[in-house]
Amino acid sequence: MRIRIDLGYDGTAFSGWAAQPQRRTVEGVLSAALTTLLRSPEPVRLVVAGRTDAGVHARGQVAHADVDPRVWEAVRGRSERPAEEVAATRLRGILPPDVGIRAVSRAPEGFDARFSALRRRYLYRLCDDPTRADPLRRHDTALVRGPLDVEAMSDAAGRLLGLHDFAAFCRRREGATTVRTLLAHEWSRAPDGTVEGTVVADAFCHSMVRALVGAVVPVGLGRFGRDVPADLLAAGVRDPRVRVMPAHGLSLEEVVYPPDAELSARADEARATRLMPG
């Protein structure tokens, strides 16, 4: 049976999601906790909605694991609560404080944490006024030197929406496509004075969100014209003027899935290689 795990984490002390030898990762910590919970002789394998980089945070991450139904039911012990509730409680006791379990549930048929997702929503936080920098938010807010024109950033960002080849904002991987659909990219000033960017797409390639932010921050600082990010997108190559922004300002906020009846079809669609039309 397949188990869905909704979780969040402070990415500060992690070397990203993906398990790596001799490094502390979210996948490694969560897999170890599940392995302990299930008393499994082998590490429990996980599939995740978004493989976050080192230092990136998450409030709305989703993962799944396949488990033996009999072993799963044994998690209940003498409790009358469902195994999922017991598992969530016990995982919270096993995991370190920088990982939080929001919910554990039985995944519906056809669910795949990665491929069934319709879209992912990220938040990027910037502080452009050193007098208002909050030391309590230093691990999730990046600093920039100079005041930002938020309206100009949103205007420039909006010109990137739609289905495109985002090669200019992705680190290429052999055999992987960089075609994505950017659904939202907008900026606003929060009540505490920070500048917040919301970036939503059907999926993201490696470093794409932080590069998209790095393309519009110079617009906010007056160093780029509003049309420059769109010109970079059209050029289709990485430009040294675009800075990949610091990881700690980024958080995965939400992963959205279709109705249960459409999960399998969505997964099949997402597995197909994305190509530009025509």
Report the distance separating Cα 239 and Cα 268, nearest Å: 34
What is the separation of C-alpha 86 from the centre of its chain, rounded to a whole number of angstroms? 27
pLDDT > 70 in the chain, percent: 99
Name the nearest CA neighbour of 126 among 255, 254, 252, 251: 251
Residues 6+ apart with CB under 8 A from 261: none
Confidence of residue 172 (pLDDT cuts 50, 70, 90): confident
The pLDDT assigned to 9 comes to 98
> In this structure, what DSSP letter does residue 182 have?
E
What are residue 186's DSSP bridge partners?
198
The pLDDT assigned to 133 comes to 93
Report the distance separating Cα 193 and Cα 173, nearest Å: 38
CB 233 within 8 A of CB 170: no
Confidence of residue 276 (pLDDT cuts 50, 70, 90): confident
Distances in Å between the Cα of 255 and the Cα atoms of 48, 159, 239 are 11, 24, 30
The pLDDT assigned to 150 comes to 98
For residues 242-254, give the mean pLDDT.
97
Name the nearest CA neighbour of 73 among 64, 61, 65, 82: 82
Q: In the block, which residue shows the tokens 């500060």? A: 12
The pLDDT assigned to 274 comes to 77
For residues 91-96, give the mean pLDDT.
98
Q: What is the mean pLDDT of the chain?
A: 96
Residue range 31-82, pLDDT digits in tens: 999 999 999 999 999 999 999 999 999 999 999 999 999 999 999 999 999 9
CB 9 within 8 A of CB 91: no
Task: Provide the whole-model pTM.
Answer: 0.95
pLDDT > 90 in the chain, percent: 93
- Does 273 have pLDDT greater than 80? no
The pLDDT assigned to 278 comes to 67
Q: Which residues are the active-site residues?
A: 53
The pLDDT assigned to 171 comes to 81
SS3 250: strand
